[in-house]
Structure 1
Amino acid sequence: MELGGTRTRGSRTMLFLVLVLMMIMAAAKAASGEGDVGDHDHEQFLKLWTERDGDIGKDYLNWDGDEEEEDGDDDEELEQVMSSAAKCRPTGRNVVNVDSFGAAGDGCSDDTEAFLDAWKKACSLNNAVFLVPGGRRYKVGAARFIGPCKNRMIIQIQGTIVAPEEPSEWDPKSPRLWLLFSGLSGVRIQGGGVIDGSGSKWWANSCKIDRSKPCKGAPTALTIDSCRGVRIHNLHLQNAQQMHLTVSRSRDIRLAGIHVDSPEDSPNTDGIHVADSTAVTILSSRISTGDDCISISNGSFAVKMKGIDCGPGHGISIGSLGQGGTFAAVEAVSLDGAWIHGAMNGVRIKTWQGGAGYVRNVRFANVVVDDVDHPIVIDQFYCDSRNPCHNQTSNVKVSNVMYRNITGTSRRAEAIRLACSDAVPCVDIVLSDINLLREDGAEVEMVCNCAMGFDYGRVRPAADCLRTSPCGGGVSPDVHPDDEDDDKIRHTEL
C-alpha cells in the first residue's frame, strides 16, 4: 500500500512539474511576440486530419451547446459580442471587420484584397470573428481563405458577398473555385447573409444551354475543403456559377439552415455536393435549383440528411459514380424527413457502366413527394454524354438500400424505376410503407431490371418485380429517368 501511494504522489508531482513547465513556455512565447500561425499550428491541424479514427481534438472541435440533432441559435453569442463592442466594453472576442481593411461594400468596387487582408489578421487571433457587416454588398473575386487558424474562429457573414458578373473577369488560376475555405478546424460560418454567384452569364455559356459551346467547368460558389469540425449555419446561397456549396476531403461537417435558390433551368447548379468526406450532416435546409438538391459522390461515408425541402431540381442523389471505369465507394447514407416537390426525381442512385466499387447501407425514410417525375430511381445505366454510352459488363454494386414511408404523387406512370446491371445486380433492396399515385389518383407502376429484394407493409405500386426481376430484358439501358427529349443534354458533372 505504501509503495502504491508513493507512486501516486510521484505521478502527481511529475504532472504538476509538466504543467508548470508548459505555463513557463507559453509565457515566454507570448513575451517574444509569437502570435502568428506557425509550424506548431500547422502540425496540429495535420494531426487532427490524419488521426481520423481517434479522439484527437475532440474538445477543440466541440463548441458549448453544439447539439448534433438540434438546430440551435448559433448567432446569439455573436449578437452579444457586437452589442458589447458598440458600447466599448470588453467582449473576449477579437472582431475583425472587413471594412477596417478597406472594403467598400458598394457592390462595384473590388473588395477581394480587403477580405484577404482581414482574413490574415483574423486567422492569427484567438477567439476571432471575421465579420462581413450587414446592409452592404461586397464584390469579391476568386479568394482562398486558408488555415489553420487560431482557436474558435467565427466567420460572421451578415451582408451580401457577390461574384463578378462577367466570366471574362475571372481569375484563370481559379477556374473552378470562388470562395474557398481550406485547412480549418473547429470553425463556425454563420450570420444570415447572402452569397450570390451572379451566375446568369455563366449559365448562358453552358453547353447545356448552347450546344455549340464546349462543356467546361465553372466556379463553385462556396467550397469547404480539407476541413474538420466545421459548422455552417443560417446562410443563403443563390445564383451560383455552377455548384452552390461543396464539401470535399473533410470530416465532421455540419450544415444547418442552409437556403439555396437558383432558377429551375440553371445548369449544373447542385445545391449541396459532398465528395470524399466522412460524417457530414445536413439539417433543416431548403434547396431550389436547376440540378440535384443534394448530390453525394465518391468517397462519402456516414452522410446524414434530415428535414430537407427540395424543389424544383433533380432531387436527392447518390452519384453519379464509376465514370470512365473508376472505382467508387459510398456507404452509410441516410435521409430522414424530406419534402421533394416539382422535381425531376425524388431519391436516386446513379452509376455509369464500366465502373467498380459499391454503394451500400443506404436508407431513405419519411419522404413526401409532390408532382415528381420519378419518386424512386436506381439507374446503373447512367449516361451523361453527348454520345451514346457502350454497354459494359462491370458496374458499381448497389446493395442494402431501404425505402421506408415514401408517399405522394408522381407525374409519370413509372413512379419507381430500378434499372440495375445484368452483370452486377442490385441486391437487398427493401421497400416498406410506400404509397404513390398519379396526381389525378390513377395507379402508377414499378419497373425492375436485375433488382432483387423484398417488400413489407403496404407497398403501392406492387413490388412483385423485386422477387421476379429479370436480367437483360426488364428495362432498356437506352432510356434514362432524365430523358424528356432525345436532343437534350443531360446533367454534366464537370
Structure 2
Amino acid sequence: MGSKFVQFVCLVFLLVSIVKVGAQQAVFDVMNHGGVTDGKTDNSKVFTDVWNQACQNNGGGVVLFPTGTYFVEPVVLYGGCKGPIGVQIEGTLLAPEELESSVDIDHWIAFQYVDNLVINGGGSLDGQGPSAWPFNDCLKNPQCKRLPTSLRLDFVTNASIDRITSINSKNVHINIFASQNITISNIKISAPGDSPNTDGIHLGSSHNIQILDSVIATGDDCISFSTGTNNVNISGVRCGPGHGISIGSLGKVDGDDVSFVDIRNCSFVGTQNGVRVKTWAPSEAGTVSHLNVENIEMDNVENPIIIDQQYCPSRSCNAEEFSKVQIKDVKFKNIWGTSSTKYVVTLKCSQTSPCQEIELTDINLNYNGLEGSGVSACSNVEVEAYGQQTPPACTEKIMM
C-alpha cells in the first residue's frame, strides 16, 4: 500500500509539473532575434517581429529586452494573441531624438487591441524630449503638429504596467484610451518642471483603472482625466513637480463625463495644484460626479484644492461666459499641509450650473507666506463643512 501511495504522489507531482510547464509563457529574447544594444541601430523591426512571434505562440509569450540600450523608432503592436502577452524591459528603450522623425505622430510605443498584457522589468523608456519641447506650442499655434506619447494603450483590456521608468517624454508619458481593467503600479515618471504637456498619465474613455504606489515628477499634470473615464482608484502617488491631478479640462464636446474617482493617500510637493477639477468657459453640457479625495498631504502647493469652471488658457475660449458642466457629489476629507498662495481652497463654480453636494471635512491647510493667512474662496457652490476647517470654509466670495 505504501508503494502504491508513493507511486500516486509521484504521478500527481508529475502531472502538476507538466501543467505548470505548459502554462508558462515562452520567453522571446530580442538579442536572439537580431537586437542591437549600441543605442543607435534601429530595433523597431526586431521589436515588431519578436512581438508577433510571442503573440502567436500558443499559451502566450514574453518579449524580453535584457540590460542594454535599444534605439527604437515608433512602433504599433497589435493584439489578437493566443495567450497572455508580456514585454519585460530590463534595459533602456531609446526614442528618436531628431524632431523630423517624431513630429505629427501620436505615439512612440503603442499597444492596440491587446488583452492580458503585462509590461514590467525595472527598465526605462527614454523619450529624448528636450529636442521636441520648443515645438510643443499648440495653445498658441493652430498649425502645430502632434508630438508622440511615449507609451500608448488603445483598446487594451486586463493589463498591468509595473516597475517601469519613463524619462523625458516628448509629450504625454503614458496615455490610456478606450481601455479597461488596467493597473499601473510602482512606476517612476520624470521630466523637468518646465517641460510642456508632459503629463505623467492621461486617461480617456477608460474604466476600472488603478494607479498605485508611484512617483510622478513632470512638467504638466501628474495624472489627467478626459471625458468618458470612470471607476478610477489612485493611491500612494507622490506628485511633484507638475500641475497636480486634474479632472479635465471638460466641456469641449457635449456629454463629457468623469465619475467614481477615488484619490487617497497621496502627496503633492511644490506643484501648481493639488487636486483640480477644470471645465472650459463656455462649455457644452457634461458631468463630474462621485469624486472622493482623502488623506492627502500638500507641501508648498499653489492651489491645494481647486474647482475652476472658468478655465480659459487660450484665445479660443471666453472667461466671461459660463460652463454647463455639472459638478456634484465631491468630497475632500483629511487634507493637510501648506499652500504657497493665500487661496488655499478655491471653489469657482458655474453660475449656470452651480456645484452641488460639495463636502469639506477636516481641512488643515496653512498659507506659508509672510503676510496674512490662508483663504477659502467660493462662488456658486453648495458646501457642507465638517470637522476642522483651516482656513474656515468659504469665507470669501469670488467675484465673477
If the length of structure 1 is used for normalisation, what is the TM-score? 0.73
Task: Specify the SS of the correspondent of 2:331.
Answer: strand
**Would you tell me which structure has more strand in proportion to its own residues?**
2
Residue 177 of structure 1 corresponds to which residue in structure 2? 107
User: Residue 431 of structure 1 is aligned with which of 342, 355, 360?
Assistant: 360
Post-superposition offset of 1:153: 2.1
**Residue 301 of structure 2 is aligned to residue 365 of structure 1:** no
Letter in 1 for 2:208: A
Task: Specify the SS of the correspondent of 1:396.
Answer: strand
User: Residue 262 of structure 2 is aligned with which of 315, 324, 334?
Assistant: 334
User: Residue 54 of structure 2 is aligned with which of 122, 125, 133?
Assistant: 122
Distance 1:416 1:92, change over 3 A: closer
Task: Specify the SS of the correspondent of 2:314.
Answer: coil
Task: Specify the SS of the correspondent of 2:163.
Answer: strand
Residue 34 of structure 2 corresponds to which residue in structure 1? 102
Letter in 2 for 1:336: R
User: Structure 2 CA distance, aligned partners of 1:97 and 1:263?
Assistant: 33
Residue 13 of structure 2 corresponds to which residue in structure 1? none
Post-superposition offset of 1:443: 2.1
Contact 1:367 1:407 survives alignment (8 Å): yes
Contact 2:102 2:148 survives alignment (8 Å): no
Distance 1:225 1:350, change over 3 A: same
**Residue 92 of structure 2 is aligned to residue 168 of structure 1:** no
Residues 65-144 of structure 1: matches in 2 within 5 Å? 92-125=24-57, 126-134=59-67, 136-144=68-76
Residue 119 of structure 2 corresponds to which residue in structure 1? 189
**% same residue:** 36
Post-superposition offset of 1:91: 9.5
Contact 1:96 1:131 survives alignment (8 Å): yes
Task: Specify the SS of the correspondent of 1:187.
Answer: strand
Task: Specify the SS of the correspondent of 1:186.
Answer: strand
Residue 229 of structure 1 corresponds to which residue in structure 2? 158
Contact 1:436 1:461 survives alignment (8 Å): yes
Contact 1:429 1:451 survives alignment (8 Å): yes
Task: Specify the SS of the correspondent of 1:457.
Answer: strand
Contact 1:249 1:276 survives alignment (8 Å): yes
Task: Specify the SS of the correspondent of 1:392.
Answer: coil
Letter in 2 for 1:110: D
User: Structure 1 CA distance, aligned partners of 2:205 and 2:153?
Assistant: 12
Residue 212 of structure 2 corresponds to which residue in structure 1? 283
Contact 2:204 2:226 survives alignment (8 Å): yes
Task: Specify the SS of the correspondent of 2:192.
Answer: coil
**Residue 380 of structure 2 is aligned to residue 450 of structure 1:** yes
User: Residue 131 of structure 2 is aligned with which of 189, 197, 201?
Assistant: 201
Post-superposition offset of 1:170: 3.0
Post-superposition offset of 1:151: 1.5
Residue 273 of structure 2 corresponds to which residue in structure 1? 345
Residue 180 of structure 2 corresponds to which residue in structure 1? 251
Residues 411-430 of structure 1: matches in 2 within 5 Å? 411-430=340-359
User: Structure 1 CA distance, aligned partners of 2:132 and 2:83?
Assistant: 37
Which runs of 5 or more residues in structure 2 are unaligned?
1-19
Contact 1:206 1:213 survives alignment (8 Å): no
**Would you tell me which structure has more helix in proportion to its own residues?**
1
Residues 40-59 of structure 1: matches in 2 within 5 Å? none
User: Structure 1 CA distance, aligned partners of 2:78 and 2:381?
Assistant: 46
User: Structure 2 CA distance, aligned partners of 1:286 and 1:169?
Assistant: 29
What value does the CA root-mean-square deviation take over the aligned residues?
2.1
User: Structure 1 CA distance, aligned partners of 2:142 and 2:251?
Assistant: 26
Task: Specify the SS of the correspondent of 1:165.
Answer: coil
Contact 1:208 1:267 survives alignment (8 Å): no
Larger radius of gyration: 1
Post-superposition offset of 1:294: 0.5
Q: Aligned residues, how many? A: 378
**Residue 314 of structure 2 is aligned to residue 385 of structure 1:** yes
Which runs of 5 or more residues in structure 1 are unaligned?
1-80, 82-88, 477-494
User: Structure 1 CA distance, aligned partners of 2:204 and 2:138?
Assistant: 23
